[in-house]
């Protein structure tokens, strides 16, 4: 009898992490999840109840000692655990540095002690700042806010552990992931959560700027497939950009959803377009996106009722929620 390899997923009860759990189980792995449930939800894994190949530990990664039992016998690690959102990072930068940098260091030390064969870091394309497009992996790094900086510092920590300790590390820089199980509560942020609640309430969509800005949206199951490929790859010390390579405008999203819109001010420090050059990940890992934007939005629409208890945003509440953003990011107005 062949023993299954074990893959540990930090943040495995979260949006992307829970889909990664599905992907790994379907690929024949035994899966361990580490999550403190500050952003993730047990409900994201409820459909897997009773699966003997899944083991969950609800703990903060910063509390794990290097010899943590949950890492014993683990073959591969995919590290999603962290905190996101731009505005809260401007308001609480120490929290972001603590979770996204020190939390990553704890996960790296656990992986080093366990002797894992691969550690894959979930990085963010926000490290590029206001980037040229399509954006390659060698684009200059220009973080615009603490969230972006903290995620890049976490990535640099991972590669430092690769350099100094020989830990086999790869990093995947996610552009704009979307899909089912995306967070429905919390800070003002992801466009899907804002728009879906507005659609449910019959309210106009709050479009930032003129809506022509575009994002390289990639459906979450494609994201998970790419991370599994990075975890299984014989390559190490690599960075890959991850997107669909096909940016979609906010106005196109509204066309698919249907309904009226109102406009709110464009925010400083946000790019007009995000667009991943996915040449490298396609070449190295044989990965390519499978889910079209239209199909992905349709799948989310089938579950729109999950947003019934989400916050309802309007121009006034958005202005209040982003006040700190404008205060610290509007460099031209401040001069």
Q: Residue 214: left (phi > 0), alpha (psi -120 to 50), or beta?
A: beta
Q: Is 152 a catalytic residue?
A: no
- pTM higher than the cut 0.75: yes
Q: Which residue of the set 29, 128, 145, 147 is catalytic?
A: 147
> pLDDT category, 186, cuts 50, 70, 90?
low
| 134 upstream amide cis, omega within 30 of 0 | yes
Q: Which CATH code of 3.30.200.20, 3.40.50.720, 3.40.50.2300, 3.40.190.10 fits the domain covering 6-177+217-242?
A: 3.40.50.720
The pLDDT value recorded for residue 187 is 63
Domain extents in the chain:
6-177+217-242, 182-215+246-273+291-322
76, containing H or E segment: strand 76-79
Superfamily of domain 182-215+246-273+291-322 in the CATH hierarchy? UDP-galactose 4-epimerase, domain 1 (3.90.25.10)
CA 221/CA 42 separation, integer angstroms: 19
CA 92/CA 294 separation, integer angstroms: 36
Determine contact, residues 125/173, Cβ cutoff 8 Å. Answer: yes
Rounded to 5 degrees, what are φ and ψ at 189?
Answer: -170, -100
Q: Which two tokens stand for residue 163?
A: 């350099």
pLDDT digits (tens, 9 = 90+) for 193-213: 899 999 999 999 999 999 999
pLDDT digits (tens, 9 = 90+) for 269-319: 788 999 999 999 999 999 999 999 999 999 999 999 998 988 999 999 888
């Amino acid at each position: 009898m062949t023993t299954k390899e074990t893959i540990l997923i930090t943040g495995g009860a979260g949006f992307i992490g829970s889909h990664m759990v599905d992907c790994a189980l379907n690929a024949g792995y035994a899966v361990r999840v580490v999550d403190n449930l500050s952003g993730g939800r047990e409900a994201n894994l409820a459909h897997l109840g009773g699966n003997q190949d899944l083991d969950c530990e609800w703990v903060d990664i910063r509390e794990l000692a290097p010899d943590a039992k949950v890492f014993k016998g683990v073959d591969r690690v995919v590290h999603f655990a962290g905190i996101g959102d731009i505005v809260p990072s401007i308001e609480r930068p120490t929290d972001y540095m603590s979770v996204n940098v020190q939390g990553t260091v704890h996960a790296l030390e656990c992986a080093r002690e366990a002797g894992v064969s691969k550690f894959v870091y979930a990085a963010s394309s926000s490290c590029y700042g206001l980037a040229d497009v399509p954006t390659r992996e060698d684009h200059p790094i220009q973080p615009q806010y603490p969230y972006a900086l903290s995620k890049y510092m976490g990535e640099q920590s991972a590669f430092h552990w690769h350099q100094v300790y020989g830990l086999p590390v790869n990093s995947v820089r996610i552009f704009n992931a979307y899909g089912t199980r995306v967070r429905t509560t919390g800070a003002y942020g992801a466009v899907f959560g804002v728009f879906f609640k507005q659609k449910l309430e019959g309210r106009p969509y709050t479009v930032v700027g003129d809506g022509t800005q575009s994002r390289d949206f990639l459906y979450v199951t494609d994201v998970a497939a790419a991370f599994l490929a990075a975890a299984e790859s014989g390559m190490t010390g690599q960075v890959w950009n991850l997107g669909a390579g096909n940016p979609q405008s906010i106005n196109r999203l509204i066309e698919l959803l249907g309904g009226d819109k109102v406009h709110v001010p464009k925010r400083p420090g946000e790019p007009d377009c995000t667009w991943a050059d996915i040449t490298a990940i396609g070449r190295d890992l044989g990965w390519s996106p499978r889910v079209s934007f239209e199909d992905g939005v349709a799948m989310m629409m089938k579950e729109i009722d999950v947003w019934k208890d989400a916050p309802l945003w309007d121009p006034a509440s958005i202005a209040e929620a982003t006040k700190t953003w404008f205060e610290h990011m509007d460099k031209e107005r401040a001069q």
